[in-house]
């Protein structure tokens, strides 16, 4: 399913009071505001997230974020460029049968049945909800093709911005990194510290032991 797989390249940043004004100044157009409800699932032993795989239900739709095939060897080989080090890229699968197949594989489950749309597959795969929160998201697009900026505010009080470019499977990740870098410059983002995502902060507060484990295994 080529059509249901894409790579999401993104860089998170700290947003301030001035971020919206800066976005307007560089010609970004607000394309909407919406509330997002996320529920994340894993086994009680966290078999997915310990492999950097993130299964979630967002507003009724299933999504699975997985490391890209290349990312392991990239990190093992040459040192990532500074630009790339600020960004993450994940393969995103949005077709439920493909998600079920992938999870079955990763968890080493014996049988791939034809699962139903209902939620019985979750308990069959021993998956439980370990995180649930809402986010108010304002989205902006930039003229530079395919660049989207999201400003997120969670119901647990965390604000974070995200510059994002979606690349079709097999597409040019380097070009996406460059677009993100140019956008970051135009937004005046100079600080090169890594900014924590919503899930970092959520896990730190709600699952401190698992958070520590993910940190020590370099997943967060």
Which spans of this chain sit near ligand V4E (rule: CB under 6 A)? Answer: 10, 12, 54, 65, 88, 90, 162, 164, 197-199, 220
Distance in angstroms (rounded) separating the CA atoms of residues 65 and 75? 18
- In DSSP terms, 143 is beta-bridged to none
User: CB of residue 114 vs ligand V4E: minimum separation in angstroms?
Assistant: 28
SS3 127: coil
SS3 152: strand
Distance in angstroms (rounded) separating the CA atoms of residues 82 and 134? 32
User: CB of residue 179 vs ligand V4E: minimum separation in angstroms?
Assistant: 16
User: CB of residue 162 vs ligand V4E: minimum separation in angstroms?
Assistant: 5
Distance in angstroms (rounded) separating the CA atoms of residues 214 and 216? 6
Q: Residue 10's closest CA among 187, 180, 184?
A: 180
SS3 18: coil
User: CB of residue 116 vs ligand V4E: minimum separation in angstroms?
Assistant: 26
User: CB of residue 72 vs ligand V4E: minimum separation in angstroms?
Assistant: 14
Our CB check for ligand V4E shows the closer of 7 and 199 to be: 199
Distance in angstroms (rounded) separating the CA atoms of residues 192 and 148? 20
SS3 117: coil
Q: C-alpha dihedral over 75, 79, 82, 87, to 10 degrees?
A: -10
User: CB of residue 180 vs ligand V4E: minimum separation in angstroms?
Assistant: 13
Our CB check for ligand V4E shows the closer of 42 and 164 to be: 164
Our CB check for ligand V4E shows the closer of 103 and 199 to be: 199
Our CB check for ligand V4E shows the closer of 47 and 124 to be: 47
Distance in angstroms (rounded) separating the CA atoms of residues 216 and 201? 16
């Amino acid at each position: 399913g080529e059509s249901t797989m894409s790579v999401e390249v993104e860089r998170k940043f700290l947003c301030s009071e001035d971020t919206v004004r800066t976005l307007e100044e560089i010609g970004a157009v607000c394309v909407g505001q919406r509330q997002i409800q996320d529920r994340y699932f894993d086994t009680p032993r966290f078999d997915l997230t310990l492999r950097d795989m993130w299964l979630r239900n967002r507003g009724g739709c299933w999504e699975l974020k997985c490391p890209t095939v290349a990312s392991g060897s990239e990190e093992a080989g040459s040192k990532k460029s500074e630009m790339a080090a600020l960004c993450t890229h994940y393969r995103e699968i949005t077709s439920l049968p493909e998600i079920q197949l992938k999870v079955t594989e990763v968890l080493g489950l014996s049988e791939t049945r034809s699962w139903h749309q209902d939620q019985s597959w979750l308990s069959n795969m021993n998956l439980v909800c370990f995180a649930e929160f809402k986010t108010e998201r304002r989205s902006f697009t930039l003229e530079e093709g395919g660049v989207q900026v999201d400003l997120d505010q969670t119901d647990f009080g965390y604000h974070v911005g995200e510059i994002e470019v979606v690349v079709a499977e097999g597409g040019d990740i380097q070009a996406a990194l460059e677009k993100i870098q140019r956008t970051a410059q135009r937004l005046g983002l100079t600080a090169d510290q890594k900014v924590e995502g919503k899930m970092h902060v959520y896990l730190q507060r709600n699952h401190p032991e698992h958070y520590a484990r993910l940190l020590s295994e370099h997943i967060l």
